[in-house]
Amino acid sequence: MPHSLTLEAFVQGFVRTQSEASAVRIDRLQRLGGGAVQENYALDLLIQGGAYAGLQSWVLRTDSPSSLAISLSRAEEFAVLKCAFNAGAKVPEPLWLHRDEGQLGKDFYLMRRVGGDASGRTLVRTERSPAQRAHLLGQLGASLAALHSVTPPQAGLAFLPAPAVNPALARVIEYRGLLDQMARPQPTLEWGLRWLELNAPQNSPVSLVHGDFRTGNYMVEGDTLTGVLDWEFAAWSASDEDIGWFCARCWRFGAFDKEAGGIGLTDDFLKGYEQVSKRIVDRSTLAYWRIMATLRWALIALLQAERHLSGEQNSLELALTGRMLPEIELDLVDEISAIEEERRHA
């Protein structure tokens, strides 16, 4: 860092300026666990003077040593978070963005810290009654519907590529391009992409999508949703893409009988969604988007492994993610085979 400037010292000055405080004391700036794509830090501070006077608990989000090409920048992610917050989605309140000009070597932004637990395995294993599960899923569905109320165009989101006429086929083209860049052939994934291409739904409603809306990326305190996290994959796409991702088998953390995020029933999730969106979700297309989610997760596993294998970022977590590929491919084959079997007996 230039002039031996530490992150803590820079953040202290940055907050003092942005909050118009007379003084700022940082009590904790600590790296948080999780976040395989970006880095998050817990920030506890005491602010004197200005609109934010008092004890504050925030999160600083910045770039990891390496990144995925398909993820947004921190500045873009901050803009999406502000848009989602203003639309009424349950997200941490975004505060300020720092655009780096050589001081630290990377951008960051600050947001309020929300309470609760985000561990996927903990959330799916927590003892809850059917009513409690339905209540949580209803909140998740309602928050996602609020996000999907944002439709193109949006001046503050001009950096997002314009939505395609058929978002399903646009994803097929995107993922085929990523596969073409791989050093080794991936025949199972190519087969899956061809199936998705031939079975793409038409006339899907397009909105702002989170892109990674799943158990493990939201915080829960008791049975209350406190905030949806990790917005680096947001895009204009089919609204049902987020629903399929949330319900995909790969994000149930072992609770495979609970189709909606490993938490409970899909109908409970969709009830909360439809009450806010005023749109009846076409259940017949959800299996398609679950398969799209499985294929996408396989691609992400490959890309994460490549970050490790290339030497860009030496990480056991990234390496182990790549080792999951055969299991994901088996899910893909099973899911497509099940649909084709149903068609044969229809």
Contact 242, 217 (CB under 8 A): no
What residues pair up with 56 in beta bridges, in sequence order?
45
Do 154 and 181 fall within a single domain?
A: yes
The verdict on 223 and 243 lying in the same domain is yes
Structurally, the chain folds into a number of domains equal to: 2
CATH of the domain at 204: 3.90.1200.10
Residue at which a domain ends, from 58, 89, 112: 112
- Domain co-membership, 101 together with 130: no
Beta bridge partners of 102: none
CA distance 81 to 189: 32
Are 43 and 79 in a shared domain?
yes
What integer pLDDT is reported at residue 38 of this predicted model? 82
* Domain-terminating residue out of 50, 83, 112: 112
User: Based on the domain organization, do 306 and 240 belong to the same domain?
Assistant: yes
Task: State residue 2's pLDDT score.
Answer: 40
Residue 211 near residue 61 (C-beta atoms within 8 A) = no
> If we measure between CA atoms, which residue out of 346, 344, 306, 312 comes closest to residue 325?
306
- State the Cα torsion 154-159-163-168 to the nearest 10°: -130
User: Structural domain of residue 41, as residue ranges?
Assistant: 2-112
Length, in residues, of the chain: 346
Q: Are residues 102 and 172 in the same domain?
A: no
Contacts of 144 (CB under 8 A, 6+ apart): 89, 210, 213, 242, 243, 246, 273
Element housing 173 (H / E): helix 167-180
Q: Could you give the CA distance from residue 185 to residue 300 in angstroms, rounded to a whole number?
A: 15
- In this structure, are 235 and 159 located in the same domain? yes
Asked whether residue 316 falls in the same domain as residue 264, the answer is: yes
Last residue within a domain, chosen from 56, 89, 112: 112
Q: What is the pTM of this model?
A: 0.91
Q: Do residues 176 and 201 lie in contact, with contact meaning Cβ atoms separated by under 8 Å?
A: no
DSSP string for residues in 207-263: EEE-S--STTSEEEETTEEEEE---TT-EEEEHHHHHHHHH-GGGSTT-TT-TBTTT
Nearest-angstrom CA–CA distance, 71 and 210 = 12
Indicate if 106 and 129 belong to the same structural domain.
Answer: no
Cβ atoms within 10 A of the Cβ of 122, count?
13
Whether the ω angle into residue 65 lies within 30 degrees of 0, i.e. cis, is: no
Q: How many Cβ atoms from other residues are within 10 Å of residue 130's Cβ? A: 10
Q: Is 66 helix (H, G, I), strand (E, B) or coil?
A: coil
- CATH number for position 14: 3.30.200.20
Same domain, 73 and 133: no
Could you tell me if 85 and 159 lie in one domain?
Answer: no
In order along its 346 residues, the chain shows pLDDT tens digits of 343 468 899 999 999 999 999 999 999 999 987 655 688 999 999 999 999 999 999 999 998 765 556 689 999 999 999 999 999 999 999 999 999 888 888 899 999 999 999 999 999 999 999 999 999 999 999 999 999 999 999 999 999 999 888 999 999 999 999 999 887 889 999 999 999 999 999 988 999 999 999 999 999 999 999 999 999 999 999 999 999 999 999 999 999 999 999 999 999 999 999 999 999 999 989 999 999 999 999 998 888 877 756 666 666 676 667 678 889 999 999 999 999 999 999 8
Contact 307, 66 (CB under 8 A): yes
Buried b (16+ CB within 10 A) or exposed e, 211-232: bbbbbbbbbbeeeebbbbbbbb
pLDDT score at 137: 98
How many CB atoms lie under 10 A from the CB of residue 284?
Answer: 8
Query: Which tokens sit at 123?
Result: 């959330």
172 and 198 both lie in a single domain: yes
